[in-house]
């Protein structure tokens, strides 16, 4: 009986903690949304964040795109095994890169780079009382710290993903002509065959939602950090894990709500 | 005037403030002493709205801080300088930018006027040549002085010092004490100083209040505290491990401080 009570108590505590956490997260989002009104407070900082979160993240996005493009071309050729005309390599590379792999793989990589960076930076500011210092100087931490990062992430993720799409396609094309003896015309024929502008639109909107989620989670976890170096480490880890999970959830969400049913 | 009236604050099960009442009059330098974890930092964080009380009122110039709308709270904060225990300088900014932060936010001065004010303020704390350096390049004592400069750059009416001499050698502590006295004399600011360094308390305080078990145990002039008959106060000011009758005494109640922890507005909800 005592054991059953312990299990019930533990479950109750867990549920209560989760509900409280959801409440805190909801309040955090509400406060951040309210802070967007004060454009003068956050916009000057946004350009700096766009460079830090966006431009500085470009190399990792491009590196992923290059290898993804090469692997996709070779994988397609291997899978077709002569039954499917080889120019469909272009189709597969284009569809897979733009619809799925450029946004998701880049998003996951940036969840590590950007999410952990934000959580560690804001976490350190929190535990060293720099966030409190901002408040005492009459700065709103939401406007000064959160909004510029979320704005920069939402804007810059699609930009990085857009470049990654081009580079990934380019790498796939080079791999096709280099390893598969496919001509440029054949590769382009395949790539154009089923291309629609929606492919790019879908990938970029998805990327924007990933940027929004990764930066928001990084800010939330960072500003919730407690207890010195260990707390900052935990915040950074949690930011990466939650961001990665959220990217996969959003990926499924967009597929079910926007992609599903289109033909 | 700063006024705490019957303030209660607990973090979970830990009661930190338990009916804390204290007045700070204009022009005074009130020193709050007490054991580590007694709730001294928690008490002054309420003054700038970094924490909200569970019960009780905190008034600054007759404004009830916990009930102030956000905009008015930020306006009030512009009149209160806060010197953090470990300075809390923005480590990605130069010292000059750190000191200029509050001035830029206020938006009343041009960039050249801000630069002039920053220079004057850094001279006031005897650090005229550090504007282009970063906090990591300075010693602990210098960082604390920059923290004071950042707080006074806005020419506030009140300054709250959170353990300004903790962790410093005696000579640097004396320099910081002199600075606090200079700020009061030159700028006429009202100060609240938190410390457990009695030498510093006697030097800078016009009144001293001892915080014990969440409330003020005794408050009085330096002389009154020095001549206190209260055994708890005597034990603290004389730095003894036991009470006068030899009875051992645990100073940890009512709970370890969570001074750097959860904050209410902006901080507490994140």
State the DSSP code for A57. Answer: G
Domain count, chain B: 1
Q: Is the confidence at residue B267, as pLDDT, over 80?
A: no
Residue B160 lies in a domain: no
Residues A55 and A15 in one domain: no
* Domain around A20: 1-35
Answer yes or no: do B50 and A27 touch at CB < 8 A. Answer: no
With 0-12 CB in 10 A as exposed, 13-18 as middle and 19+ as buried, what is B130? buried
A29 and A51 belong to one structural domain: no
Residue of A nearest to B73 (CA): A138
Query: To the nearest whole angstrom, how far is the Cα of B53 from the nearest Cα of chain A?
Result: 17
| Pair (A205, A152) in one structural domain | yes
CATH code at B231?
3.40.50.300
Residue B156: its pLDDT value, please?
Answer: 92
Element (H, E) at A123: helix A116-127
Cβ–Cβ gap B263/A24 under 8 Å: no
The domain in which residue B63 lies consists of 1-74+203-270
**Cβ burial A93-110 (10 Å sphere, 16+ → b, else e):** bbbbbbbbbbbbbbbbbb
Cβ distance of A135 and B77 shorter than 8 Å = yes
pLDDT at B261 over 60: no
Tokens linked to B59: 């008034």
DSSP class per residue in A140-193? -HIIIIIHHHHHHHHHHHHHHHHHHHHHHHHHHHHHHHHHS---HHHHHHHHHH
> Chain A residue closest to B44 (CA)?
A136
Q: What is the rounded CA–CA span in Å between residue A228 and residue B44?
A: 22
Confidence at residue B245, expressed as pLDDT on a 0 to 100 scale: 63
Would you place residue B248 in the very low, low, confident or very high pLDDT band (cuts 50, 70, 90)?
Answer: low
pLDDT of res. B100 = 95
Mean pLDDT by 10 residues, chain A (263 residues): 88 91 91 87 89 90 94 91 86 94 95 95 95 93 94 96 96 94 92 92 97 97 92 96 97 93 71
A135 and A162 fall within a common domain? yes
CB contact under 8 A, A133 and B82: yes
pLDDT at position B36, please? Answer: 86
DSSP state at residue B248: B
Residue B265's pLDDT band (cuts 50, 70, 90): very low
What are the angstrom distances between the C-alpha of A135 and each of B85, B138, B191? 16, 24, 19
B260 interface with A at CB cutoff 8 Å = yes
Q: For CA atoms B201, B204, B209, B213, give the dihedral sign.
A: negative
In a domain, B103, yes or no: no
Same domain for A228 and A152? yes
Let me know whether A60 and A16 are in one domain: no
For A85, other C-beta atoms within 10 Å of its C-beta total: 12
- Name the average pLDDT for chain B: 87
Residues of B in contact with A142 (CB under 8 A): 266
Q: Are residues A21 and A97 in the same domain?
A: no
Question: Looking at the 3D structure of chain A, how many domains does it have?
Answer: 2
Same domain for A104 and A142, yes or no, is yes
Question: pTM for this structure?
Answer: 0.85
Q: What pLDDT score does B246 carry? A: 61
Q: What is the dihedral of CA A49, A52, A55, A58, to 10 degrees?
A: -130
Q: Is residue A156 located within the same domain as residue A49?
A: yes
**Among the partner residues A130, A138, A223, nearest to B88 by beta-carbon distance:** A130
- Is the ipTM reported for this complex over the cut 0.90? no
Same domain, A237 and A169: yes
The 10s digit of each residue's pLDDT in B166-224 is 878 888 888 889 888 988 888 889 999 999 889 999 999 999 999 999 999 999 999 99
**Cis amide linkage into residue B209, ω under 30° from 0:** no
CA separation for the pair B258, B262 (Å, rounded): 7
Interchain pair A28, B263: CB under 8 A: no
Report the C-alpha gap between B82 and B161 in whole angstroms: 6
Residues A99 and A165 in one domain: yes
Closest Cβ opposite residue B88 in set A132, A140, A223: A132
Specify if B226 maps to a domain: yes
């Amino acid at each position: 009986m005592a054991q059953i009570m312990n299990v019930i108590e533990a479950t109750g505590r867990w549920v209560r903690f989760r509900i409280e956490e959801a409440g805190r997260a909801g309040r955090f989002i509400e406060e951040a949304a309210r802070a967007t009104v004060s454009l003068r407070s956050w916009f000057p900082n946004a350009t700096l964040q766009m460079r830090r979160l966006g431009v500085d993240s470009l190399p990792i996005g491009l590196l992923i795109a290059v290898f993804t493009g090469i692997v996709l071309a070779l994988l397609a050729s291997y899978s077709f095994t002569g039954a499917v005309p080889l120019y469909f390599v272009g189709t597969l590379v284009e569809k897979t890169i733009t619809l799925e792999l450029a946004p998701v793989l880049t998003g996951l990589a940036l969840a590590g780079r950007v999410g952990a960076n934000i959580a560690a930076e804001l976490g350190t500011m929190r535990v060293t009382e720099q966030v409190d210092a901002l408040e005492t100087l009459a700065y709103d931490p939401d406007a000064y710290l959160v909004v510029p990062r979320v704005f920069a992430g939402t804007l810059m993720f699609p930009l990085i993903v857009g470049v990654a799409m081009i580079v990934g396609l380019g790498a796939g094309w080079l791999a096709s002509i280099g390893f598969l003896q496919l001509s440029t015309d054949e590769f382009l024929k395949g790539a154009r065959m089923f291309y629609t502008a929606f492919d790019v639109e879908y990938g970029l909107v998805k990327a924007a939602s990933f940027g929004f989620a990764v930066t928001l989670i990084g800010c939330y976890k960072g500003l919730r950090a407690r207890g010195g170096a260990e707390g900052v480490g935990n915040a950074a880890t949690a930011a990466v894990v939650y961001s990665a999970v959220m990217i996969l959830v959003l990926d499924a969400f967009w597929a079910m709500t926007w992609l599903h049913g289109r033909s | 005037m700063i006024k705490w009236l019957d303030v209660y604050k607990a973090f979970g099960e830990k009661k930190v403030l338990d009916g804390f009442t204290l007045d700070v009059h204009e022009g005074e330098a009130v020193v709050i002493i007490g054991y580590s974890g007694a709730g001294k930092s928690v008490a002054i964080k309420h003054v700038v709205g970094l924490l909200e009380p569970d019960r009780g009122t905190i008034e600054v110039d007759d404004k009830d801080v916990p009930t102030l709308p956000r905009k008015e709270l930020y306006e009030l904060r512009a009149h209160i300088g806060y010197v953090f225990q470990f300075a809390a300088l923005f480590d990605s900014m130069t010292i000059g930018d750190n000191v200029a932060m509050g001035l830029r936010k206020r938006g009343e001065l041009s960039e050249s006027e801000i630069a002039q004010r920053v220079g004057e303020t850094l001279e006031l704390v005897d650090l005229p040549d550090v504007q282009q350096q970063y906090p990591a390049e300075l010693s602990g004592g210098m960082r604390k002085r920059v923290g004071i400069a950042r707080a006074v750059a806005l020419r506030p009416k009140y300054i709250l010092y959170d353990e300004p001499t903790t962790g410093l050698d005696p000579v640097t502590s004396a320099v910081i004490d002199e600075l606090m006295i200079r700020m009061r004399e030159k700028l006429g600011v009202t100060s609240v100083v938190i410390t457990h360094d009695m030498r510093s308390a006697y030097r800078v305080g016009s009144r001293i209040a001892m915080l014990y078990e969440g409330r003020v145990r005794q408050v009085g002039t330096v002389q009154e505290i020095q001549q206190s008959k209260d055994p708890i106060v005597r034990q603290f000011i004389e730095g003894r491990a036991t009470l006068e009758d030899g009875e051992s005494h645990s100073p940890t109640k009512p709970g370890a401080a969570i001074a750097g922890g959860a904050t209410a507005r902006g901080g507490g909800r994140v």
